[in-house]
A and B are shown apart, each in its own frame.
Chain A
Amino acid sequence: MKRADDLKIGERAVIKDVDNSHPSSHRILEIGFTPGQEIELLNCSAFNDPLAFAIRGTIIAIRKKEAHCIHV
């Protein structure tokens, strides 16, 4: 199954689910990464991690580990 950290820069995808594998998964939901929402990977940091996503009209940076629990 594809996850948000598998996206390429500029690629858009719709969130299918957010799993509970990361302790911050509730915070990830709270900040707006909810199922049904379309996201786009905008940038990744010089060290390939964290990743910056466009979501709900803003940009949120999260680590790869956190992006990994977002199913797209």
Chain B
Amino acid sequence: MYSRINNKDKKAPLITLVGPPNSGKTTLYNYLSGKKSKTVNYPGSTVNYSVSKILSKHEINADILDSPGIISLIPTSPDERVSVDTLYKHPKYGHPDIVIVTVDASQLSRHLYLVKQMMESNFNLIVVVTMIDILKRNGKDIDIIKLSAILGCCVVKFDGRNADGIKHLLEKTRDKIVAIQKEEIILPVAKFQIDRDKLLLSYKQIEEIEEEVIIDNNNRRNGQLDISSINDNLVVLNNRRAFVKPDARTLKLDKVFLHKYWGLAIFFIAMSVVFTAIFWIAQPFMDWINTGFENLSSFTGELLGENLFSDLVSGGLIPGLGSVLVFLPQILILFFILELLEDSGYLARGAMLVDKPLSKIGLNGRSFVPMLSGFACAIPATMAARTIANKKERFLTIFILPLMSCSARIPVYALLVAFLTPKDKPYLGGIFFTLIYLFSIVSSLIIAAIANKFRDRIVKEKEDSSFIIELPAYRKPKVWINTKHAYKNAIQYVKKAGPVILILSLVLWVLTTFPNFDPSIPDADKLSAEEVSSAKNSERLAGSYAAMMGRFIEPVMKPMGMDWRIGVSLVATFAAREVFVSSLALIFKVTDDDEDTHNSLLTAMKEAKFEDTGQKLFTASTIIGLVVFFVFAMQCLSTTAIARKETGGWKIPILQIVVFTALAYAFTVVVVNGLKAVGVS
């Protein structure tokens, strides 16, 4: 298949955006791309980049493609490899007709390196110089015309803050498009090999270019020549280059943010604020979504009457949809905060701070972002791990990601914590939650450390662990663009995880509804319609496939102090954790008539008894046991699928399922029986 977006007769030219990280590439993409921007995957991996038609008001009929940042055409990590492969030939989009390279003016000597490689590869280039404001803040300027003449290609300025220069860029792009339709197509030439001498020569040439085009106004303060800075520049003659100080404001801020003790304190405070924000800001929205879907469910139930179709819609489809959307607020907030941290320049510094401790347990400073995202959802988190160059570290990071307390666990913990929290001491709930999070973080780190001991047996790869990261200049984050990105990412999550969860909740509905769909109720005429309906519900469930499965696995549940009913719910959670609450509600015959489901479920749980002994089913020890189970168990098919894709095999996902589920079971048995032994009910 060879098609592009809105492709009619002739294929539209393809423009690919490349550039080093932090060179303003994505900002430019946001100005150029139209509304219909979509994220596409590179076949064979899940590295995604955006592709879009150029915004229609720019009057250019072309596709524009954005890909992860690269510093050279020799990739070291999977995300870079995809960017480079995309440049040479994307299986679906072909090779780009025009390549726009972004170059940070204050980083000219480093960023021109990629430009030089691109020129040697025969790409049809437009060089876009960004961040001139930072250059000017440091008393310098750049001669674009000279740069264009030296490079022998088209160079334009662009200001990311106000889109200044975009008209000129579009003009040049239009000219190029006209030109390529006349010219013969020149295919990019062979890929780059590691060649030290060539690299050093390139840098030498780039340094000469930089001397030519950067205008240093600092030498002419007050119209007079400044002797000291001339002396500074004289060192060039001694075959060494003048020292260029990084952004002054950034240096000042780093004195605090990277301070030996303060830096660490700020890091921990920042992380606590992030988690609190995710939790507290999202809560009311999650409650609204929950209530909304419950109301919708009971409303459609009444509207459609008592039949199979009605039950499918109100008991299967709508709750299933609700269980997907309920995480949207949290995921949105987490993505937004991540964007904010990245845009401001702090994220790279956070990664630097945790690199040492993480490397002790076989991870990398770059594991920090995936791990942080893991608290929203393991799916995007697993994809974020592709920035880790070393295979062992990448696989180990992916391996432990399901242990991060993802948002799907929150409704489960919320229910369990509510059960444990005494009515007169509501503040205990918050403390319990914090304890669960701390417990999950600590145990995931311990498991990583243990898994690290075995990693040579699991992944065969040479030891080339590295941590090289640019700490970009601090900038005021562009909140509106961050919001847009967070929204895009969250929507992508819904599209990816949504169908899976939806299908699984339908399967669950089938399993809990059939084969005993319409049980006969004795003395039905003596009961009210509502009582008949609820009796039918419970009879239906007791004779369902799910109940059969539950009874089958009951011997396994017994050591955990649980019965088949919890067993059914737990089996259901292996598809997706969040199903736990709704399946418990279904199994304990909770109807959402007057009270809200949550409270009536709690009441039902408190009254539930073992069917044989009549003892209470849910006690403090079983509830704590369930929490432990949810901390460890690998209960998410989507994560399994994505882990298989990202690691290119079944080894890691199968290890995750086996190891984490075994751990969950063992720990739960130990915790429940241990608690009972020391006298906890």
- The interface centre, meaning the residue of A28, A40, A44, A56 with most chain B CB atoms within 10 A of its CB, is A56
Q: Which of the residues B245, B246, B355, B470 comes within 8 Å of A45, measured between beta carbons?
A: B355
Given contacts A12-B243, A58-B110, contact A45 B468 (CB under 8 A): no
Cβ of B240 and Cβ of A24 under 8 Å apart?
A: no
Across the two chains, which residue of chain A brings its CB closest to B254? A43
- How far in angstroms is the closest Cβ of chain B from A7? 14
Question: B72 contacts the other chain (Cβ, under 8 Å)?
Answer: yes
Cβ of A31 and Cβ of B467 under 8 Å apart?
A: no
Which residues, 431 to 480 on B, are CB-close (under 8 Å) to A?
Answer: 462-464, 466-473
Given contacts A24-B464, A29-B199, A50-B352, contact A60 B72 (CB under 8 A): no
CA distance A12 to B463 in the complex (A): 31
Across the two chains, which residue of chain A brings its CB closest to B471? A59
Given contacts A30-B199, A59-B250, contact A43 B356 (CB under 8 A): no
Cβ of A31 and Cβ of B110 under 8 Å apart?
A: yes
Q: Which residues of B contact A24 (CB under 8 A)?
A: 76, 464, 466, 468
Question: B109 contacts the other chain (Cβ, under 8 Å)?
Answer: yes
Number of interface residues of A (CB under 8 A): 38
- How far in angstroms is the closest Cβ of chain B from A42? 7
Q: Which of the residues B107, B250, B260 comes within 8 Å of A46, measured between beta carbons?
A: B260
- How far in angstroms is the closest Cβ of chain B from A64? 9
Question: A37 contacts the other chain (Cβ, under 8 Å)?
Answer: yes
Cβ of B356 and Cβ of A52 under 8 Å apart?
A: no
Cβ of B469 and Cβ of A61 under 8 Å apart?
A: yes
Across the two chains, which residue of chain B brings its CB closest to A59? B471
Which residues, 5 to 55 on A, are CB-close (under 8 Å) to B?
Answer: 12, 14, 22-24, 26-32, 34-38, 40, 42-50, 52, 54
Q: Which residues of B contact A56 (CB under 8 A)?
A: 107, 109-110, 244
Q: Which of the residues A35, A50, A57 comes within 8 Å of B244, measured between beta carbons?
A: A57
Residues 263-301 of B, flagged 1 when their CB comes within 8 A of A and 0 if not, give 110000000000000000000000000000000000000
Q: Which residues of B contact A35 (CB under 8 A)?
A: 200
Cβ of B462 and Cβ of A23 under 8 Å apart?
A: yes
Question: B194 contacts the other chain (Cβ, under 8 Å)?
Answer: yes
Across the two chains, which residue of chain B brings its CB closest to A9? B260
Given contacts A31-B468, A52-B254, contact A36 B239 (CB under 8 A): yes
Across the two chains, which residue of chain B brings its CB closest to A37? B241
Cβ of B264 and Cβ of A59 under 8 Å apart?
A: no
Across the two chains, which residue of chain A brings its CB closest to B105? A57
Given contacts A58-B107, A61-B471, contact A36 B464 (CB under 8 A): no
Q: Which residues of A contact B246 (CB under 8 A)?
A: 42, 54, 57-59
- How far in angstroms is the closest Cβ of chain A from B213? 14
Q: Which of the residues B243, B264, B471 comes within 8 Å of A60, measured between beta carbons?
A: B471
- How far in angstroms is the closest Cβ of chain B from A59? 4
Across the two chains, which residue of chain A brings its CB closest to B134? A57
- How far in angstroms is the closest Cβ of chain A from B171? 30
CA distance A48 to B261 in the complex (A): 11
Q: Which residues of B contact A22 (CB under 8 A)?
A: 466
Cβ of A60 and Cβ of B468 under 8 Å apart?
A: yes
- How far in angstroms is the closest Cβ of chain A from B229? 15
Q: Which residues of A contact B203 (CB under 8 A)?
A: 32, 34
Cβ of A52 and Cβ of B352 under 8 Å apart?
A: yes
Residues 236-260 of B, flagged 1 when their CB comes within 8 A of A and 0 if not, give 0001111111110011001100111
- How far in angstroms is the closest Cβ of chain A from B469? 5
Counting contact residues on chain B (CB < 8 A from A), the size range is 35 or more
Question: A63 contacts the other chain (Cβ, under 8 Å)?
Answer: yes
Cβ of B348 and Cβ of A27 under 8 Å apart?
A: no
Cβ of A59 and Cβ of B240 under 8 Å apart?
A: no
Across the two chains, which residue of chain A brings its CB closest to B267? A46
Cβ of B109 and Cβ of A63 under 8 Å apart?
A: no
Q: Which residues of B contact A52 (CB under 8 A)?
A: 254, 258, 352, 471
- How far in angstroms is the closest Cβ of chain A from B140? 10
Question: B71 contacts the other chain (Cβ, under 8 Å)?
Answer: yes
Across the two chains, which residue of chain A brings its CB closest to B345? A59
CA distance A52 to B345 in the complex (A): 14
Q: Which residues of A contact B74 (CB under 8 A)?
A: 26, 30
CA distance A45 to B358 in the complex (A): 13
Cβ of A34 and Cβ of B200 under 8 Å apart?
A: yes
- How far in angstroms is the closest Cβ of chain B from A30? 5
Which residues, 134 to 177 on B, are CB-close (under 8 Å) to A?
Answer: none
Q: Which residues of A contact B469 (CB under 8 A)?
A: 60-62
Question: B13 contacts the other chain (Cβ, under 8 Å)?
Answer: no
Q: Which residues of B contact A61 (CB under 8 A)?
A: 348-349, 352, 355, 467-471
Across the two chains, which residue of chain A brings its CB closest to B20? A31
- How far in angstroms is the closest Cβ of chain B from A72? 11
Q: Which residues of A contact B472 (CB under 8 A)?
A: 58
Residues 203-235 of B, flagged 1 when their CB comes within 8 A of A and 0 if not, give 100000000000000000000000000000000
- How far in angstroms is the closest Cβ of chain A from B211? 13
CA distance A29 to B355 in the complex (A): 21
CA distance A50 to B258 in the complex (A): 11
- How far in angstroms is the closest Cβ of chain A from B616? 49
Across the two chains, which residue of chain A brings its CB closest to B255? A43
Q: Which residues of B contact A57 (CB under 8 A)?
A: 106-107, 109, 244-247
Q: Which residues of A contact B240 (CB under 8 A)?
A: 14, 36-38
Cβ of B464 and Cβ of A26 under 8 Å apart?
A: no
Q: Which of the residues A36, A47, A60, A66 comes within 8 Å of B356, measured between beta carbons?
A: A47
Question: B653 contacts the other chain (Cβ, under 8 Å)?
Answer: no
Question: B357 contacts the other chain (Cβ, under 8 Å)?
Answer: yes
Residues 342-370 of B, flagged 1 when their CB comes within 8 A of A and 0 if not, give 00000011001101110100000100000
Cβ of B241 and Cβ of A50 under 8 Å apart?
A: no
Q: Which residues of A contact B254 (CB under 8 A)?
A: 42-43, 52, 59
**Can you list 6 pairs linking A and B with CB atoms under 8 Å apart?**
A29-B196, A44-B260, A50-B352, A50-B355, A57-B246, A63-B467
Given pairs A31-B468, A34-B199, A52-B254, 19 additional interface contacts (CB within 8 A): A14-B240, A23-B466, A24-B76, A24-B464, A26-B74, A27-B468, A36-B240, A37-B240, A42-B254, A45-B355, A46-B264, A56-B107, A57-B109, A57-B244, A61-B349, A61-B470, A62-B469, A63-B355, A66-B468
Considering the complex of A and B, which 5 residue pairs feature the smallest CB-CB distances, nearest first?
Answer: A47-B356, A23-B464, A57-B244, A24-B466, A43-B258
Show the binding face of B for A, using Cβ within 8 Å.
Answer: 71-72, 74, 76, 106-107, 109-110, 113, 194, 196, 199-200, 203, 239-247, 250-251, 254-255, 258-261, 263-264, 348-349, 352-353, 355-357, 359, 365, 462-464, 466-473
